[in-house]
Amino acid sequence: MDSFPSAARFTATRTGTALRLLLLLLALVSPWTVNDCHAQQPPLLERLTQAFNEVLNGLQAGPDAEVMQAVQIGVAVDPAENAGMKQVQQATQQRNLRLLNAAASWMNSVAALTPEQRMQVAQQIQQQLTAAPDLQQRRRNNPGAAAQSMAPILYGGPQGAGRSLANALVENVLQNVADEQQKQKLQAALQERASFQRTTFAAYIADLVDRRLFLTIQQAEKLTGIVDQHLQVAGEKSWHPLYSATPYSYFLPYENLWTCVTEQARKDVLNETQAQFLAETAKLGDSLDQMHLSSSQTPEEWLKFVEEASQKLEPWMLSAYRTRSQWYTESFQLSAEQTAALRLAALGATSSGLRGWRDQCYNTIDQMENHRQQFAGGGNFSFGLTRPDVYSQHENPSAIWQNAIDQLSLGQQAQTLKEQRKERRRQADSHCVTALLDQELWLLPEQREAIRKITLETLPKQEPFDHYDYFRDIILFCCPVLLADLDVVRQSLSAEQFEVWQGTAQLFRYNKDNRLVELNLQDQGQWTFQLNQ
């Protein structure tokens, strides 16, 4: 292997040589056995150990120069493992090729490239594929970085490997292939495409805020413009939909949603109750996002934790209900008496919700205490409690809150407004997924609406995302990719774009019978989730 030093550098004592060999072997074992090990293949560790022992036995008589040769033999003892790595590399190259072909097709449609120019572009694509660092090398250079991921959404994202490849191709065409008139067309189209993605994500982010703060239509429109300004200032690295009120990085690198709600937005857009909810959210922080208790604590300590958590949650839940009551007041121009009734109902719904949550926690604690008694001395254990989901209360409200809404005698108006709110959410989702698909498909402007309609038809009727916010966008992305009618998709895309679509779908394994999706995770096995109806 060229990256290893030559045998001449190993000129220390034989004992030192053996130690160096051991360290090298351990270094070699790590990436093969942890990152890319296939259980069905002969264990590489055993073969490396055998090779190491053979070297140790021959050290007394053999020259040091044989050490490096033994290491190289050890690396190559498992051809099946190397074959698996080659398959991964080939799949990566094919994916890169599909993306670059889609970008080339887009440029040809925009600028009407001549046959000679298209040949130049094809040659540039082959040069890029040859020069691109392999997947293993990217991981070694920058392990865990989103920019190195081949995952859907990240691959074509602002800092993704696919984005870098496509940008390099476009830049080469602008500099070395296109004439002046073609350059102007391409630059204008590139600017329009970037603006489409940014403004689409800005509207989606504003809708994510709406789902928490219950914005009026006028507030949502105003906030969209402010978020778009924020993204422009923040730069292209922020032009994505991966923002969340509870930003985890389990599968995708989510950022804090509230960073997009600037001080200007809080002053110019939000009302007093919405601002108060944001303040209570910031005060609560992530301290109760993951509530873990262990057997090292007593039941009394468990109960005390629940009581203290309940006290912290009360002002947060109450402010959430008050934003909701203010939304009804402004949407229906309620009287002062009606508004007061809703605010009183907010107190009752908060109290009732917390009482129900505490009862669930107490039941869990009783089960864990029984578990401790049944398995006394059987080792330590831990368990978790879930924060009450105040957001889903709009879809499944408490009896106290629902009774207060019914007493307003709004009739069909309330249901209509609720359905309009849900439809705005579905529209925002469909536009967002269209922009995500555009990152890899390189859609022409006239193709976007067809893809958006295809996406909208595949989105679930029920909302599955409140409990799964840490992979919300993967669920959305999978809906059209896995559920859409391929004949309809084929009619809406070019041949190059359709190859990208099919290649993306192959990243997932989908079981139509139970709507289960399985996705391979880098160095972490498989991950399975279900698509709702």
Tell me what percent of the residues of the chain surpass a pLDDT of 90. Answer: 52
Report helix angle 412-441 to 299-332, nearest 10. Answer: 100
What type of residue sits at position 492?
Answer: S
Range with the lowest mean pLDDT among 88-92, 184-188, 387-391? 387-391
Mean pLDDT calculated for residue range 171-182: 96
Mean pLDDT calculated for residue range 157-165: 92
119, 131, 126: which is closest to 176 by C-alpha? 119
pLDDT averaged over every residue in the chain: 81
Predicted TM-score (pTM) above 0.85: no
- SS3 readout for 128-179: HHHHCCCHHHHHHHCCCCHHHCCCCCCCCCCCCHHHHHHHHHHHHHHHHCCC
Q: How far apart are CA 313 and CA 350, in angstroms?
A: 9
Query: Token pair 């292939």 is at which residue?
Result: 177
What is the model's pLDDT at position 10?
A: 33
- SS3 readout for 357-426: HHHHHHHHHHHHHHHHHHCCCCCCCEEEECCCCCHHHHCCCCHHHHHHHHHCCCCHHHHHHHHHHHHHHH
Q: Residue 7: pLDDT above 90?
A: no
Under 8 Å between Cβ of 332 and 413? yes
Q: Residue 530: pLDDT above 90?
A: no
Cα 184 to its chain centre, rounded Å, is 35
Q: Which residues have a Cβ under 8 Å from the Cβ of 78 and sit 6 or more positions away?
A: 32, 41, 42, 44, 47
Range with the lowest mean pLDDT among 5-14, 146-155, 204-213? 5-14
Range with the lowest mean pLDDT among 59-73, 156-170, 239-253, 344-358? 59-73
What is the model's pLDDT at position 409?
A: 83
* Highest-scoring range by mean pLDDT, 7-11, 16-20, 80-84: 80-84
Mean pLDDT calculated for residue range 9-21: 41
Mean pLDDT calculated for residue range 104-117: 97
Q: Residue 286: pLDDT above 80?
A: no
439, 431, 420, 473: which is closest to 455 by C-alpha? 431
Q: Which residues have a Cβ under 8 Å from the Cβ of 168 and sit 6 or more positions away?
A: 128
What the block records as the tokens of 416 is 């209509």
Under 8 Å between Cβ of 92 and 150? yes
209, 201, 224, 106: which is closest to 434 by C-alpha? 201
Under 8 Å between Cβ of 270 and 281? no
Q: How far apart are CA 505 and CA 392, in angstroms?
A: 31
Q: How far apart are CA 168 and CA 162, in angstroms?
A: 10
Mean pLDDT calculated for residue range 274-302: 86
Q: Which residues have a Cβ under 8 Å from the Cβ of 246 and sit 6 or more positions away?
A: 286, 289, 469, 470
Q: How many CB atoms lie within 10 A of CB 366?
A: 11
- pLDDT tens digits, residue range 186-213? 999 999 999 999 999 999 999 999 999 9
Mean pLDDT calculated for residue range 345-367: 92
What is the model's pLDDT at position 1?
A: 39
Q: How far apart are CA 323 and CA 273, in angstroms?
A: 5
Confidence of residue 33 (pLDDT cuts 50, 70, 90): very low
What type of residue sits at position 6?
Answer: S
Q: Residue 23: pLDDT above 60?
A: no
Confidence of residue 392 (pLDDT cuts 50, 70, 90): low
Under 8 Å between Cβ of 177 and 188? no
* Highest-scoring range by mean pLDDT, 49-58, 153-162, 412-421: 153-162
Tell me what percent of the residues of the chain surpass a pLDDT of 70. Answer: 76
What is the model's pLDDT at position 138?
A: 57
Range with the lowest mean pLDDT among 319-328, 330-339, 455-464, 471-480? 455-464
Q: Residue 16: pLDDT above 60?
A: no
Confidence of residue 136 (pLDDT cuts 50, 70, 90): low
What is the model's pLDDT at position 373?
A: 79
- pLDDT tens digits, residue range 480-529? 999 999 999 999 999 999 999 999 999 999 998 888 898 876 655 677 88
Angle at 161 between CA 155 and CA 163, to 5 degrees: 75
